[in-house]
Amino acid sequence: MSADASDLSLVRRVQRGDKGAFDVLVLKYQHKLVKLVMRYVRNPAEAEDIAQEAFIKAYRALPQFRGESAFYTWLYRIAINTAKNAVVSRDRSPIEYNVDRGSTDNEESYDMQGRMKDSETPEGLVLTDEIRSTVNAAIDALPEDLRTAIVLRELEGLSYEEIAAAMACPVGTVRSRIFRAREAIDRRLREVFEGGLGRTEELG
Amino acid sequence: MNEELDSQLSAMFDNELPAAECELLARRLSRDADLKARWGRYAVIGAVIRAERGVALDGTMAGRVSAALSSEPALSIDTAPASRRSRASSWWQPLSGAGLAAGVAVVSILWLRSQALPGGSPVAAPVMVATRTATFGSPSAQGALQAASATTTPDSFVVPPIQQRPMMVVPATELADYVVAHSAFSWPVSRGNLLSSLMVSEPGTSSTPAESDQRAPRVQGNATQNPK
């Protein structure tokens, strides 16, 4: 099984003219890309703009993508170059981010600092808070085996095979546990999105 | 939405779904709004677990990218011809490998020849032809050989020099005696050729010029007695 088969199948669809497949890729990688760009710019709103620009550049460059490297590697390279160019053009240094931030332990104060410069709407901030608290509550409510499986996958980035070895169970069981964990969390999360602020419908 | 489909979606999100199933699900995923929304929520769950601070989770960026790309023309890259092109462009690779191997072989032969020959001087093929003719042919050919040796620039490196041929070590008279003694058992055509070659062999290889002159008619006489 190719580790990049999922992304590659979507990329091939985009290359054949299916724009909807690119939406799927954006949905999957938007958060990771913003987090990556935030190593270069301190403002989350600016990071989102750069990530958005990187996605658009990636779409335009997709005809040249041959699948010789993983899609996310290729996408990350575009995002890093876009971020570096943005930093240079705005005369900002990535080092400034580390100096101001001081310590990585101070995540919460950094988050608040970023928020003060954030140009997002108050509704967006409220929704992000609500999503975060809902997901965390749902994870806490999960049975131990489901929670362990989903955390090993999402937080540690382990493959199903590695998780199976760690939990001493078959790979099929890992796949089932992760799926059931996601389903349990998603049931609560859907209520938040369908409560009036869900914006992913814009992509439908 | 059935559970098997959701399970596949979860596995595909983790890049753990077989490629064949990915193809089918990708097609449905790109068109099914509910499935796409669920996929987006899976990404949100991961972002929260990873505690990605400062990252908005409301999905507005995906909407903005989609809106920005709505004015872009859809791509129309046919990936199948691309793979065929790559196959077509690689047909020459085995040939180039064989060519490289042949080149290496030629260089090796040249190097070995230069190491084997005294002084490293190559021997010309035309000179060798002339030399062999002179050895088994008329004395006038030796003059041609000497002229060719003096004027011709060596351009071939395949045939070893005639001086090193072991054939010259055997005295012609002893060989002639041997052939005559066994002429009754040899095939007439080859016997005639061999005897005629011996009769015109260079005089220096015989024991004495007198012996050579005496034996030659006898050999020829034997040869003519057995025409077949």
Option in B17, B52, B61 nearest A48 (CB): B61
Cβ(B55)–Cβ(B47) below 8 Å: yes
The DSSP result for B145-211, as a single string, is HHHHHHHPPP---SSPPGGG-GGGGS-HHHHHHHHHHTGGGS-HHHHHHHHHHHHTS-GGGSS-HHH
- Of the pLDDT bands very low, low, confident and very high (cuts 50, 70, 90), residue B196 is low
Q: Where are the alpha helices (DSSP H) in A16-143?
A: 19-37, 44-61, 71-89, 94-101, 107-117, 122-140
Contact A175 B30 (CB under 8 A): no
pLDDT at B204: 46
Structure confidence at residue A163 (pLDDT): 96
pLDDT at B51: 81
Angle between helices A144-154 and A122-140 (to 10 degrees): 130
Answer with the residue of higher pLDDT: B178 or B92: B178
Check whether B141 has a pLDDT greater than 80. no
Asked if residue A111 has pLDDT above 70, the reply is no
| More confident: A110 or B50 | B50
Whether the Cβ atoms of residue B36 and residue A204 lie closer than 8 Å to each other: yes
Given a cut of 80, whether residue A179 has pLDDT beyond it is yes
B7 vs A101, which has greater pLDDT? B7
pLDDT confidence bin for B84, thresholds 50/70/90: very low
Residue B199 pLDDT level (bands cut at 50, 70, 90): low
How far is the alpha carbon of A182 from chain B, nearest alpha carbon, in Å? 7
What average pLDDT does chain A have? 83
Q: How confident is the model at residue B44 (pLDDT cuts 50, 70, 90)?
A: very high
Please tell me which residue of chain B has the smallest CA distance to A109: B53
Interatomic CA distance for residues A173 and B98, integer angstroms: 51
Nearest to A56 among B31, B44, B69 (CB): B69
Closest residue on chain B to A63 (Cα): B77
Interface contact A59-B72, CB threshold 8 A: yes
Tell me the nearest-neighbour CA distance from A166 into chain B, angstroms.
17
Q: How far is CA B99 from the centre of its chain?
A: 5
Q: Do A193 and B62 touch (CB under 8 A)?
A: no
Q: Which residue has the higher pLDDT, B105 or B127?
A: B105
pLDDT band at residue B172 under the 50/70/90 scheme: low
- Tell me what percent of the residues of chain B surpass a pLDDT of 90: 17
Question: Structure tokens of B34?
Answer: 């509910």
**pLDDT given for residue B189 in this prediction:** 55
Residue B53 has pLDDT above 50, yes or no: yes
Q: Rounded mean pLDDT of B24-47? A: 92
- 8 Å CB contact between A117 and A45: yes
DSSP string, A47-65: HHHHHHHHHHHHHHHGGG-
Look-up: residue for tokens 């972002």? B47
Stretch among A103-107, B159-163, B195-199 having the lowest mean pLDDT: A103-107
pLDDT at B205: 44
Q: How far apart are the first and last CA of chain A?
A: 30
Between A and B, how many residue pairs show a Cβ–Cβ distance under 8 A? Answer: 240
Cβ-count burial of B184 within 10 angstroms (0-12 exposed, 13-18 middle, 19+ buried)? Answer: exposed
Determine the Cα–Cα distance for residues B45 and A156; give it in Å rounded to an integer.
14
Burial class (CB in 10 A: 0-12, 13-18, 19+), B8: buried
pLDDT for B69 beyond 70: yes
- Per-residue pLDDT, averaged over A108-122, amounts to 50
Interval A95-116 mean pLDDT: 46
pLDDT of A47-98, one tens digit each? 999 999 999 999 999 999 988 889 999 999 999 999 999 998 876 555 555 4
What is the distance between the alpha carbons of residues A158 and A144, in angstroms, rounded to a whole number?
A: 17
**What's residue B48's pLDDT?**
92
State residue A59's pLDDT score. Answer: 95
What is the mean pLDDT of the segment spanning A137-144?
A: 95
Scanning every residue of chain B, which has its alpha carbon at the shortest distance from the alpha carbon of A118?
B54
Residue with tokens 């060989």: B175
Q: Taking CA atoms, what residue in A is nearest to B21?
A: A6
Is A5 in contact with B19 (Cβ distance < 8 A)? yes
pLDDT, position A157: 92
Residue A149 has pLDDT above 60, yes or no: yes
Vertex B48: Cα angle to B46 and B50 (nearest 5):
70
Sorting pLDDT into bands at 50, 70 and 90, what band is A137? very high
